[in-house]
Structure 1
Amino acid sequence: MTDRFNTIAGWTLFAGIVALGLSIISGHFFNADSPERPEKMGYPIEGVVEEGASEGPSLAMLLSTADPAAGEKIFAKCTACHTIAQGGANGIGPNLYGTVDEPIGKGKAGFAFSSALSDHGGNWTFENLDEWLKSPRSFAPGTKMSFAGLGSAEDRANMIVYLNSMGPGVPLPAVEAPAEAKPDEPDEAVEGGAADPTADSDPAAAGAEVTAPAAAAKN
């Protein structure tokens, strides 16, 4: 009696194990293509932009809509170190009148720039100013500038147009128009009027062209 009970219990346990295994396998199989399963990037890679992510407006677009008055308010943070009036004295930092398009680290008489700027090369273009205002330490590693930078692209654009207004001024970059889709190429046969050369010809003439060589052959 005991052996029979053990046999029944063993088969029951075995059947339960098999059923559980089949349930797990079928669950994996049928959920393999489930749209509810989110696909996420396992490890974010620097410089990789996810599909659909927007890069934002261009610098030219931001400058075209920037407000010099708003830039002047932002510049108030800089007055502890800089002056900007024409002929103003240098302070902890150089006077910034006429800075736009000046040589980087060389355009202010009487001010000793760090080698990080004096050896940088190039001019203070709109693009260079944008990168500098975003992060001075990244633009010129080793700079003495203690300012952390402006994280807002709009704030940087406002500051740049204000700096540009405090000096001779440089024309703002043109905003590129969005590319227009090219129309489909027309069918050459339709546009050029090319057609079947015998389509409008006289059927009798066509027949004569066919039979004439045959008549010549007989002669």
Structure 2
Amino acid sequence: MSLENNKAFASVLTAGIILMASGFAANMLYQPKDLEENTYKVEVADSGADAASTAPAGPVIEPVSALLAAADVAAGAKGFKKCASCHTIESGGANKLGPALWGIVGSQRASVDGYSYSDALNAMNGETWDYEALNEFLTKPKAFAPGTKMGFAGLKKVGARADLIAYMREQSDNPAALPE
């Protein structure tokens, strides 16, 4: 071994010894004591109900039906631009990453020909994409259909969902009737 290698080895060994010695010194200087009781106590009243009945029911989704008559279709068209990267909405449009959405309002779920749906949506085949189902799906797709392939996070504002659904409603040969 050369003298330079010995210097490098000695410096690494010295640094290790200093680290070990500082660890021992820190343990001697600082000796934490465990608390005998919690410093912040949380009082919980026993209501007598079991845990299953007091569990939160999940987020409440605001209904969209009452807002559809006054919804802004132009704003919905603008909002659809987020969807256009994965979906087409033109008549006869091709499936992309997601299914084509022409005539989606009032149609059967998981029914677009040539598109391979996730098991979650295939299980809903035969059910209808009515206004409230679309509202719930657009709020948070993964909560509506756990396991869906759709990566969209959802729309939080009920007005934005109403605008988008009103726009999608018009993209049909025979638009569904508005709810009363």
Within a 5 Å distance, the mapping from 1:23-42 to structure 2 comes to none
- Could you tell me which amino acid in structure 1 is paired with residue 160 of structure 2? D
> In percent, how many aligned pairs have the same letter?
41
* Closer, same or farther: CA 66–87 of 1 in aligned 2, 3 Å: same
Within a 5 Å distance, the mapping from 1:140-159 to structure 2 comes to 140-159=145-164
Rounded Cα–Cα distance in structure 1 between residues aligned with 2:103 and 2:61: 29
Deviation at 1:115, TM superposition (A): 1.2
* Aligned equivalent of 1:68, options 50, 64, 73: 73
Within a 5 Å distance, the mapping from 1:55-204 to structure 2 comes to 58-106=63-111, 108-121=112-125, 122-167=127-172, 168-174=174-180
Greater Rg over alpha carbons, structure:
1
Superposed CA offset, 1:108-153 (max 9, x none) = 1111111110112411000100000001001100000000100000
Deviation at 1:59, TM superposition (A): 2.2
* Closer, same or farther: CA 56–91 of 1 in aligned 2, 3 Å: closer
Q: Per chain length, whose mean CA-contact separation is higher, i.e. which structure has more relative contact order (CA < 8 Å, sep 6+)?
A: 2
Rounded Cα–Cα distance in structure 2 between residues aligned with 1:56 and 1:97: 25
How high is the TM-score relative to the length of structure 1? 0.53
Superposed CA offset, 1:16-45 (max 9, x none) = xxxxxxxxxxxxxxxxxxxxxxxxxx9x97
Deviation at 1:47, TM superposition (A): 5.0
How high is the TM-score relative to the length of structure 2? 0.64
Q: What RMSD over aligned residues (CA atoms) do the two structures have, in Å?
A: 2.3
Any stretches of 5+ residues in structure 2 without a counterpart?
A: 1-44, 46-53
Rounded Cα–Cα distance in structure 2 between residues aligned with 1:57 and 1:134: 9
- Could you tell me which amino acid in structure 2 is paired with residue 119 of structure 1? A
* Closer, same or farther: CA 109–56 of 1 in aligned 2, 3 Å: closer
Question: How many aligned residue pairs are there?
Answer: 126
* Closer, same or farther: CA 58–135 of 1 in aligned 2, 3 Å: closer
Any stretches of 5+ residues in structure 1 without a counterpart?
A: 1-41, 49-54, 175-219
